[in-house]
Amino acid sequence: MNEEIAAQFSDELNNGEVIEWCGKPQQGFYIKKEDTLDFLFSTFFGGFLLATSYRLILGGPPFFIIFIGILIAPFGIYMMIGKYFFQKWQRKKIFYAVTNQRIIIKYGIDTQNTKTILIKELSDINVNIRKNGKGVIAFGTTLGIQIRYRRYGDDYIERTKFAPTFEMIDDVQNVYNLIKKLQWKKINDS
C-alpha cells in the first residue's frame, strides 16, 4: 500500500476503519474511449480556427476581424490540446481508497471534495478491464436525464449523470474482488 496516498485519508477514517486499498488514476496523458469523437472534432475545429486566424492576419482584413480571430484562436488551442493538460493536472489531485466500511474518492484542484459510498449500501458495481490490467470501476448506475430546451420549437438534449468511479486504476480485477469480498462480508454480518 502506498503510504503517501493512504495519508490523504487519515482525517477521513472512523474508529475501527482500516484502509484495505488505496490508489490514484493513471497519470499522464491519455484519451478515453468516450473522448475519441470529441478529440477528432476538437482537432478539426481547433485547426480550422487557427488556420482562419492565421489567414485573417496575413490577408490584411479590418482590425475588428483580426481581433475576433485572435480571441477565438486560444479557444481552438484549448480544445485541441489544452484540456488534456488540464485533465492531466486534475488527475494528480484525485485519490481513491477502499476501507473495510466505505469507498472514498477525494478530488478537487482548489478545494478538496470527498465522495463516500458505504459498502453495505453499494447497489451496482460496473467494471471495465483492459488487456493491460488497468480499468474502471463505476459505483452505482449511470443515469440518463432528459432536459427540454425550447428554441424554434421543442428540442430534446440528453444529459448524463455519471456514477462515481475509480478511473484507470492499476490491477482493477484485484480491487474489484476486494470490494466484492467486503460487500459480501457486510451483507453476511448484518
Number of domains composing the chain:
2
Q: What is the reported pLDDT for 10?
A: 85
Give a yes or no: residue 107 inside a domain: no
pLDDT tens string 6-62: 888 888 898 989 999 999 998 887 766 667 777 777 777 777 766 766 776 676 666
Give a yes or no: residue 101 inside a domain: no
Give a yes or no: residue 114 inside a domain: no
Distance between CA atoms of residues 51 and 56, nearest Å: 9
Domain shared by 21 and 43, yes or no? no
Give a yes or no: residue 56 inside a domain: yes
Domain shared by 69 and 131, yes or no? no
Give a yes or no: residue 58 inside a domain: yes
Domain shared by 7 and 56, yes or no? no
Domain shared by 21 and 54, yes or no? no
pLDDT tens string 144-170: 444 444 445 555 444 455 678 898 899
Could you tell me the CA-to-CA distances from 47 to 55, 72, 129 in Å, in that order? 12, 11, 34
Domain shared by 84 and 126, yes or no? no
Give a yes or no: residue 21 inside a domain: yes
Is 38:182 a contact under the CB 8 Å cutoff? no
Domain shared by 74 and 20, yes or no? no
Looking at the predicted structure, is the pLDDT value of residue 142 above 90? no
Is 167:25 a contact under the CB 8 Å cutoff? yes
Q: What is the reported pLDDT for 124?
A: 84
Domain shared by 16 and 70, yes or no? no
pLDDT tens string 69-91: 677 777 767 777 787 888 888 88
Tell me which residue range forms the domain holding 127: 3-25+119-189
Q: What is the reported pLDDT for 37?
A: 75
Domain shared by 17 and 42, yes or no? no
Give a yes or no: residue 108 inside a domain: no
Domain shared by 151 and 123, yes or no? yes
Mean pLDDT of 90-107: 92
Give a yes or no: residue 102 inside a domain: no
Name the more confident of 64 and 144.
Answer: 64
Distance between CA atoms of residues 94 and 27, nearest Å: 10
Amino acid in the structure at residue 129: I
Domain shared by 77 and 44, yes or no? yes
Q: Other C-beta atoms within 10 Å of 167: how many?
A: 19
Domain shared by 40 and 19, yes or no? no
